[in-house]
Structure 1
Amino acid sequence: MFFADTLETEGLGNRSYLAGGARAAVVVDPPRDIDRVIAAAAERGVRIVAVAETHVHNDYVTGGLELARLTGARYLVPAGASVAYERVPVADGDVERIEDGIELKAVATPGHTPHHTSYVLEEDGRAVAAFTGGSLLIGSVGRPDLVEPRLTEQLARAQHASAHRLAAELDDAVAVMPTHGFGSFCSSTQAGGEHSTIGAEKVSNPALAQDVETFVAGLLAGLDDVPAYYTHMGPANAAGPAPLDLTEPRRADAGEIARRLAAGEWVVDLRSRVAFAEGHVSGAFNFEIEGQLATYLAWMIPWGKPVTLLAQSAEEITRAQRELARVGIDRPAAAAVGAPFDWVAEDEAPASFPRATFAGLAAARARGERPVVLDVRRNGERAGGWIEGSVHIPVHQIHERLDEVPAGTVWVHCAGGMRAAIAASVLDAAGRDVVAIDDGYAAAAEAGLAVVAPDRH
C-alpha cells in the first residue's frame, strides 16, 4: 500500500513530500533542513531511494543534493535544468522504480520554469498522486515570471497547456500535491484549500476552467512584486548548495551589538511586535519569529549583510537560524538572548514607540492632527482600496525609500500589523516619530476613516 506524507514549511508557504511503499520512498522537493525528512523516513521505517526536484527552485535553497549524498539515493533533476553537479537527468516519460509495485513517472509540465517536471506516483500501474511542484497548484498555478521577463507570456501559456495535460492524463481521483501555493510568493495568485484532486481542480482552477487567452490575461495582470532574494536562490540551487550548518552562533554582549549597529550591520529583534514597541535597542529592526521571518528579512536585507539576532530564548535563535538558512542566510554573525536592558549599555535606556488602532487614527484626525498615514501593503493589496490621503510604500521598499516619507509623525499600517511593525522599526531606526497601527485593515472603514475604492471601470 502506498503512502504520501506532507512536510510543511509554513514560513515559506511550501510543502515537500515523502512518498512510497512498505520499504522504500522518494522525497519530492526537499527543504534545506533535511533532518526533518530523515526523521520522517525513520518514523515510517522506509529507506530513501530517490530524491526528485520538480525544478530549480527560485524561492528557497534545496536540501536535495545533500539528502541524496547522505542517503545514497538517486538524485532526479529535470534534464533541461542547467546544474553544476552530477544528477540523474529526468525527461518526460521516464519512470523511477521505488519498490515493487511503486513507481514514479516524470511528466514534463513547463510553465513555472521552462524545464519544470511533475511526478506521478503509481501503484501497480495506477496513478494515485501527482507531485505538481510549481505547475498545477490548488486553485491556481505557479507564477511564470521568475526566470526571464521576455519568457513570461510564453511560460504563462505553457502553464495553461501543462495544467490541461495533467487533467487529461490523470483520473479525477488522483491527489494534487503541489510544492507551492500555501502562502508562497511562487504562487501566481493566493491558492486556496489544503487538499485537492484532479477532479476538484477541473471545476475550480482558472487554468482548467478558462480558455488560454482569458487565463493568460488574468494571470499576467495579477502578478505582484517578486521577493528580491529570489534572485539568489536559483543560482545557489544550480551551483549545488552547501550542507546546512545550524551550530549555535557566537553570543554578543551590549558592546558588540552597539559596534555592529555602528558598522551598518543589521540587528534583528525576533520578539513580538508588542514587546518590541514597548522597548528595544535603538537601531534594531523587528521581524517577529512568529511572522514570515525568512520571507521578509531575506526580501529586505542587502544580500550578504551580516545579521545579529536578538531573542528572548536560545530556542528562538535556533528556530530563526533554521528558517533563515532555508533562504540562504546561513550563518548569523552573532546572537543575544534576554531582554532590551541586557542589550543596551548600562547608561542607556531602550527605545520605544506607541502602537494604536485605526480608531485611534480616526480620533487623532478628529482632534485636528495631520499625521502622515503610511500604507506598507503590496501593490496588489493597495489596488483593492486605500485610506484617503495615505502614502504608499510597500514594506519591502521602505528602507530604500525613507526620503519619500513626508515630514511629521508617521502612522504606519498594513493588512494586519506584522508588516507595519517591520516598517515602524525601520522608520524608528532612522529617527522618525512613528506610531504602529496594530489592527486589521477592515477596521479602517469601521472606524469612520475615508477609504478610497478603486475605479473598476
Structure 2
Amino acid sequence: MNRRIFLKNGASMAGWGMLAPHFMVNKTTGMYHIEQFTDEGLSQFTYAILFDKKIVLIDPARDPQPFYEFADRNNAAIIAVIETHPHADFVSSHAEIYRKLKTRIYASKKLQAKYPHHPVKDGDVIALNNHLLLKILDTPGHSPDSISIVLRENNIDKAVFTGDALLFGDVGRPDLREYGNNENEQRTSLAKAMYETLQTKYLPLNDKVIVYPAHGAGSLCGNAIRNVKSSTIGEEKKNNHAFHHANESDFVASILKDLPFIPKYFPYDVELNRSGAGDVQPGIRKVQLREENFQPPERSLVVDIRPKSDIQEAYYPGAIYVPEGTKFETWLGTVIAPDKKFYLAVQDKDAFHTAVKKLAKIGYESNIEGGFVYTVKKPYPVFLNGKSFSLNDRDDYTIIDVRNKKEYDEDPIIVSSVNIPLPELEKRLAEVPKNKPIVVHCASGYRSSIATSIIRKEYPQLSILDLGEDVTRIKNKKSTDH
C-alpha cells in the first residue's frame, strides 16, 4: 500500500547537499519555480523546487552555499532534500544540510542509508500543498536503489527528476554499483531492470513531461549524453536510443557495449554518500599551503598540477602530472586511488585553493597532505633534443596510445602503437616495452601528459616523450598521406 506523506516546514527527519556554481531558470508557473544548478566540471545538475516560500532540493552538490543563497534571495526555507541514489561521481551535501537545518531527507527504502532519512518506495506521494505533489517511482537500472520523482500540479504530471536513470539521449550505465566475482551477471541484471524501468515507468508518462536528470554531456554516468539542459519525455521517446530496441536482449547488449572506464574514486563516493559526508568547508580549511619549495617526506606521492610551461622549467622528479583543467577532479580521481594521500605541487596559492575545492567535490579533501609552490629549476627530461617526432622514425620508438580501446579501434593514429588506456595504465605498467625510447600520445595531449608522468615515475631510466598537442600534426599528416 502506497503512502501519502505530508511535508511541512520544519520537518525533522534528515537532509544533505553541496556545490553548484551556476544556475539557470527552467520552469516557472504561478504554483512553483524550478531552478537548475550546474557544476560544469562534473556535468552535474542540482534542482530546487520553489513553492510557497519553501524549497525541496534534489541531488544537491557538495557545497550547499549556493542553495542557502538561493533560499535567502527568495525569502524561502529549505524543507526537504531528495536523493535519487547514492552518487558515484560526486559527493552530495545532504548530510551537511541536515546537520545545519534539520531538513528531512528522502531516499529509497532499498538503499538502507546510514544517515537519518525518510525511506520511500514506488508510488509514495509527498504532498507539497493542495495543488502540488511529488510522486516516487522506483527506477532501477543505473543502480538497484534509483528513484525518480514526478512533479504533479493539479493532478497533471509536469516534470520528472530522473537522477542517473534516464539521461539526455541515453540511460545511466549499469556497471557502477556492482563489483565482485560475478560482476557480469550483476551488470546484466541491472541492464534488464533498466529495460523494465523504461517500459513501465517512463514510457507511460505524457510526452510533454519535462525531463530533468542529474547529469549532462560529459558525465561518465552515461555513455553518449546529449549536450542540452532539459528535454521532454516525448523528445526522449523519439531521440533516445534506449527506447528504440526491439526487445530486452537487444537493449541489454546495446547498453553493455563499449562502457566507459570507471574512475577509482567512484566506489568510494557511493559509500560516502550512503553514509553521509562531513561538512565541506571545515575539511577544506584543514588543507594547508606549505612554504615555497617545501620538501615532502621521502616516498611521498606528489601530484603536480602546474601548467606544462612551469614543469618544463622546474620539474619535480617522480610526481604524477594531472593538469588543472575542466575535468581535473575526474582525472585525478581516476589515476589516484581514494586510499592514497598526496601533496599538490602548484604554481600559486590561487591554483592551490581552486584545486582543493574541486577535489572536495569528489571527497578527496581529506587525502591532501598539503600543497606547495614549486620553482626549483631542474631540466625537464625530454630525449629528442628539440627534434620533432616523425612518422618516418616510428620504428625507432615504442609508441603508446593511451586513448580508450574504442577510440583506438576506430582510428589508430599511429598504426604500430601499443594501446594501453590511461585508466588501465598503472595496472599494466609491466606491459610497457623497455627496449626502445617511448613516445606517448592520446587525442589532444591531456591524457598523454598524465600517462607520461606515470611511466616516468615507474621507469625513470627510460627515455620517454609526451607527444602532447603535437599529436594534431601527426593526425593531419596521416590524413594528407591518405
What range is the shorter-chain TM-score in?
0.7 to 0.9
| Higher mean C-alpha displacement, 386-395 vs 434-443 | 434-443
Q: How many matched pairs?
A: 437
Q: Which of 264, 284, 289 is 1:246 aligned to? A: 284
Q: Which runs of 5+ in 2 are unaligned?
A: 1-28
Q: Which of 77, 81, 85 is 1:47 aligned to? A: 77
CA distance in 2, matches of 1:45, 1:409: 64
Does residue 325 (structure 1) correspond to residue 360 (structure 2)? The answer is: yes
Q: Which of 365, 377, 397 is 2:424 aligned to? A: 397
User: What corresponds to 1:455 in structure 2?
Assistant: none
Residue type of the alignment partner of 1:385: D
Cα distance per residue 1:405-435 (max 9 Å; x no partner): 2223322111221111111222333423322
CA distance in 2, matches of 1:193, 1:306: 37
Give the C-alpha shift of residue 281 in structure 1: 1.6
User: What corresponds to 2:207 in structure 1?
Assistant: 172
Equivalent pair of 1:273/1:286 in contact (CA under 8 Å): no
CA distance in 1, matches of 2:225, 2:90: 18
Alignment of 1:368-383 (within 5 A): 370-383=396-409
CA distance in 1, matches of 2:260, 2:241: 18
Q: Which of 450, 456, 471 is 1:422 aligned to? A: 450
Equivalent pair of 2:217/2:224 in contact (CA under 8 Å): no
Cα distance per residue 1:2-61 (max 9 Å; x no partner): 222222222222211112225111111111222232223333432211100001222222
Name the CA shift for 1:22/1:273 in 2 (closer, same or farther; >3 Å): farther
Q: Which of 329, 335, 350 is 2:371 aligned to? A: 335
Give the C-alpha shift of residue 194 in structure 1: 3.1
Residue type of the alignment partner of 1:220: L
Residue type of the alignment partner of 2:250: T
CA distance in 2, matches of 1:177, 1:451: 46
Q: Which runs of 5+ in 1 are unaligned?
A: 453-457
Equivalent pair of 2:444/2:472 in contact (CA under 8 Å): no
Q: Which of 174, 189, 201 is 2:236 aligned to? A: 201
CA distance in 2, matches of 1:111, 1:256: 48
User: What corresponds to 1:60 in structure 2?
Assistant: 90
What SS does structure 2 have at the residue aligned with 1:221?
coil
Name the CA shift for 1:291/1:350 in 2 (closer, same or farther; >3 Å): farther
TM-score (normalizing by structure 2)? 0.83
Alignment of 1:269-280 (within 5 A): 269-280=304-315
Name the CA shift for 1:41/1:372 in 2 (closer, same or farther; >3 Å): farther
Name the CA shift for 1:173/1:421 in 2 (closer, same or farther; >3 Å): same
Does residue 266 (structure 1) correspond to residue 301 (structure 2)? The answer is: yes
User: What corresponds to 1:84 in structure 2?
Assistant: 114
Residue type of the alignment partner of 2:339: G
Name the CA shift for 1:130/1:250 in 2 (closer, same or farther; >3 Å): same
Does residue 223 (structure 1) correspond to residue 259 (structure 2)? The answer is: yes
Equivalent pair of 1:291/1:418 in contact (CA under 8 Å): no
CA distance in 2, matches of 1:292, 1:229: 14
CA distance in 2, matches of 1:181, 1:406: 39
Give the C-alpha shift of residue 89 in structure 1: 0.5
Residue type of the alignment partner of 1:301: I
Residue type of the alignment partner of 1:39: E
Name the CA shift for 1:252/1:433 in 2 (closer, same or farther; >3 Å): farther
Does residue 292 (structure 1) correspond to residue 331 (structure 2)? The answer is: no
| Higher mean C-alpha displacement, 328-337 vs 424-433 | 424-433
Give the C-alpha shift of residue 174 in structure 1: 1.6
Residue type of the alignment partner of 1:383: D
| Higher mean C-alpha displacement, 323-332 vs 164-173 | 164-173
Give the C-alpha shift of residue 278 in structure 1: 4.5
Name the CA shift for 1:248/1:85 in 2 (closer, same or farther; >3 Å): closer
Q: Which of 253, 261, 273 is 1:237 aligned to? A: 273
What SS does structure 1 have at the residue aligned with 2:450?
helix
Alignment of 1:336-355 (within 5 A): 336-337=372-373, 340-341=374-375, 344=376, 349-353=377-381
CA distance in 2, matches of 1:217, 1:369: 39
TM-score (normalizing by structure 1)? 0.88
User: What corresponds to 1:412 in structure 2?
Assistant: 440
What SS does structure 2 have at the residue aligned with 1:302?
coil
Give the C-alpha shift of residue 221 in structure 1: 1.6
Equivalent pair of 2:287/2:369 in contact (CA under 8 Å): yes
Equivalent pair of 1:167/1:198 in contact (CA under 8 Å): yes
Cα distance per residue 1:38-94 (max 9 Å; x no partner): 223333432211100001222222211221332222100111112222210011122
Cα distance per residue 1:93-145 (max 9 Å; x no partner): 22223345332221111111112100112233322221101111000000111
Name the CA shift for 1:410/1:294 in 2 (closer, same or farther; >3 Å): same
Cα distance per residue 1:131-184 (max 9 Å; x no partner): 101111000000111222232112112212212334333221221111134212
Name the CA shift for 1:229/1:210 in 2 (closer, same or farther; >3 Å): same
What SS does structure 2 have at the residue aligned with 1:38?
helix
Name the CA shift for 1:369/1:219 in 2 (closer, same or farther; >3 Å): closer
CA distance in 2, matches of 1:93, 1:33: 31
CA distance in 1, matches of 2:343, 2:261: 27
CA distance in 2, matches of 1:421, 1:38: 39
What SS does structure 2 have at the residue aligned with 1:435?
strand
CA distance in 1, matches of 2:381, 2:71: 48
What SS does structure 2 have at the residue aligned with 1:103?
strand
User: What corresponds to 2:11 in structure 1?
Assistant: none
| Higher mean C-alpha displacement, 152-161 vs 265-274 | 265-274
Residue type of the alignment partner of 1:164: Q
Cα distance per residue 1:186-206 (max 9 Å; x no partner): 114444433211111011111
Equivalent pair of 2:167/2:225 in contact (CA under 8 Å): no
Give the C-alpha shift of residue 333 in structure 1: 0.6
Residue type of the alignment partner of 1:429: K
What SS does structure 1 have at the residue aligned with 2:186?
helix
What SS does structure 2 have at the residue aligned with 1:321?
helix
What SS does structure 2 have at the residue aligned with 1:383?
helix
